[in-house]
Amino acid sequence: MNRADYSDEQVKAWAPGVPDPDEWHARMNGRRTLVAEEDGEAVGFAELEGDGHLDMIYLRKDAVGRGVGGGLYRAVEREARGLGLGRIYTDASITARPFFERHGFRVVREQTVTVRGVPMTNFATEKGNRASRSARRPDGRPNRLHSPNWCAHRCDPREGRHLDE
């Protein structure tokens, strides 16, 4: 969600403040959380649910436009293939719609959602995903996305550790 695409009222309704850590961790329970790191700091994350719903993908402002989001999304796709999921779907904001379209998603419908009493537009989108048997490389080690300066991996938010190590 970006202030260029939504009003101040809509942004405040969508993200009213810092979430409670216990509520946040409970929400993440049962989801596949992938984190992009750069120099030991999280610069983005994505959450994939077991039915293929990409609940969120978020990048820190300074990570936007440097390929981190695309790399993180490709890691989500590999995770989905490893789970045998035939499709990935998400509700894309106006801001995120072009990103998802660049990655092969199609808009199913425009929709109006109401968050904390404030209506806003987003788009139901989906993409077919070739399922595979394994999220592991031929040598048996888990897939882990690397770039010269950052990596994306599965994390356990409660334990603060990588799950694929």
Are 71 and 45 in contact by the 8 Å Cβ rule? The answer is: no
> Domain 34-154 is of which CATH architecture?
3-Layer(aba) Sandwich (3.40)
Buried b (16+ CB within 10 A) or exposed e, 98-135: ebbeebebeeeeeeeeeeeeeebebbebbbebeeeeeb
- 38 or 139, higher pLDDT: 38
Decide if pLDDT at 156 tops 70.
no
DSSP assignment of 101-156:
HHTT-EEEEEEEEEETTEEEEEEEEEEE----S-SB-TTSPBP-EE-SSEEEEEEE
Query: What is the average pLDDT score of the chain?
Result: 78
The model's pLDDT over 62-76, given as tens digits with 9 standing for 90+, comes to 988 888 999 999 999
**Strand partners for 154:** 34
106-135 tens-digit pLDDT = 999 999 988 889 898 999 999 987 654 444
Name the pLDDT band for 138 (thresholds 50, 70, 90): very low
